Amino acid sequence: MDFVKKQAVLAWKFYREQLLRLHIGCMVAFLAVSALSAVVFGAFAQQAQAIVESFMEEVQQSGLLDENGSISLPALFGNNLQATLTATVMGFVPFVFLPVFSLALNSVVIGAVLALSGTMGVQTWNMIFLGLLPHGIFEIPAMMLGVAMGLYLCRQMNGTLRKRPGTPRIEAVLPHLCRVTVFGVVPLLAAAAVIETFVTPLLLGLVM
């Protein structure tokens, strides 16, 4: 138990000192791009519809739904964790800051959903609100934390390749990122998966 507590303390210290501002920046960027996308897609409903339909097809083909059409908790958690870790691992590619594309992609999908909802009345807005917000308050920060770690990793890769003084070695950074993943990303995604699997269907049942 002391070992786990020590690792949690180290994870929080690293997050507070190295990732907090970057994480907040990613969250702000996500909300801003989502809002901008919603405005833009408001004038291009056909394109928004195509994006949402493509996203729904990916969900159906990803194995997230069981035979009864219900969300599979392990599959949902695994899918979200894989997406978040992918955003982080993208940081190993120097100079191009690939994790930004993960942020942009998720923002555009949310923007398309919001744009379509704006043309479908109050009940649809209620469905979107209840269907996205309860689990989104955990899932979005977790995924943006993955993006923030990817951007941090890319920045360190750049410093290493350019031999910038004071840049920590990548092998010294990785344990910190692993701790933040275990004590930050995983609990947030687990909470989001539980809510989306068990709570969200009940909430949607109230307005459908």
The pLDDT assigned to 175 comes to 96
Cα–Cα distance for residue pair 7/3, rounded to 1 Å: 6
Q: How far is CA 99 from CA 75, 104, 130, 191, in A?
A: 23, 9, 28, 23
How many CB atoms lie under 10 A from the CB of residue 177? Answer: 24
Contact present, 139 and 179 (Cβ < 8 Å): no
The pLDDT assigned to 120 comes to 61
Cα–Cα distance for residue pair 151/153, rounded to 1 Å: 5
pLDDT in tens, the chain (208 residues): 789 999 999 999 999 999 999 999 999 999 999 999 988 988 887 888 888 888 877 777 777 776 666 788 999 999 999 999 999 999 999 999 999 999 999 999 999 888 877 666 555 667 677 888 899 999 999 999 999 999 999 999 999 999 898 888 899 999 999 999 999 999 999 999 999 999 988 887 776 6
The pLDDT assigned to 141 comes to 98
Cα–Cα distance for residue pair 22/88, rounded to 1 Å: 13
Q: How far is CA 140 from CA 20, 28, 155, 171, in A?
A: 15, 11, 22, 28
